[in-house]
């Protein structure tokens, strides 16, 4: 499989400006709704959420994920594939 970024997401969730734990709660809620094989794209500006909370959640749920930091914009694009 190529990078997750090349797949069209089912949902784009923008959690920029939100403090933990709100972003991860929204991610969990959206992932529960998605059928297996769907991709969620998350736009996030919180290092704690992007580099800690979401990766731990994905590993626990056995979801494939990819994190891309956009240096020029100061936020992360996180792709989560539900198995």
Pair of tokens at residue 43: 């736009």
Of 12, 20, 47, 64, which residue is the catalytic one? 20
The question of whether 58 is a catalytic residue gets the answer no
DSSP state for residue 76 in the 8-state scheme: E
Q: Write the secondary structure of 28-53 as one string of H (helix), E (strand) and C (coil).
A: HHHHHHCCCCCEEEEEECCHHHHHHH
Q: What sign results for the dihedral spanned by CA atoms 28, 51, 53, 75?
A: negative
- The residues annotated as belonging to the active site are 20
């Amino acid at each position: 499989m190529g990078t997750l970024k090349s797949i069209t997401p089912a949902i784009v969730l923008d959690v920029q400006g939100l403090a933990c734990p709100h972003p991860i709660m929204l991610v969990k809620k959206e992932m529960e709704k998605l059928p297996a094989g769907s991709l969620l794209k998350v736009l996030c500006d919180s290092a704690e959420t992007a580099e800690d909370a979401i990766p731990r959640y994905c590993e626990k749920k056995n979801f494939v994920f990819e994190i891309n930091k956009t240096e020029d914009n100061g936020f992360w694009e996180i792709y989560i594939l539900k198995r």
